[in-house]
Amino acid sequence: MGEEPLIEDFGQRIGRAMGWPPMAGRLAGVLMLSPAPMTLSELQTTLGASKGSASEMTRLLVANGTVERVKVPGVRQAGYVWRDDAWSGCLQHQLDQNRQLLELARTAQERGLGMAEVQQARLRDMHAYYEFMVGHLRRLLDEYEQLHAGR
């Protein structure tokens, strides 16, 4: 397979950058380069991975918005494909994470009203940070989707 060095590079670089295990990065590389959906068995064989590892890594990539599970005609096992909008999916995942943390910051700020000023200041900073991040990630996602739609 001529893509092996690239897949290994994905395993190291995208895995490290995204905070994923190297196997998730390798799996991302395989699916990104695959012209057709791949079953869990095919991914296992291609990556030399255990069933558990391949299953766990596909779930991670689905949760991160880059891969989706699909029905493959004539095949009993589900297939996995790199989403055409994977980068939007990745940004959406980051936006969702930051929204959850913004909600935590709101709740924490309310619950911390009786705390010392230094603690309240930290909670206000947390809230301001996640409010900033959610706003900017939303705009960034909208801008990216408009750019991607124009292709």
Residues 54-80 have pLDDT tens digits of: 999 999 999 999 999 999 988 899 999
Tell me what pLDDT residue 2 has.
64
In sequence order, the 6+-apart residues with CB closer than 8 A to the CB of 137 are 91, 94, 95, 98
| Residues in the chain where the model's pLDDT stays below 70 | 1-2
Question: pTM value?
Answer: 0.82
List the strands of the sheet with 67-70, edge to edge. Answer: 38-39, 79-82, 67-70
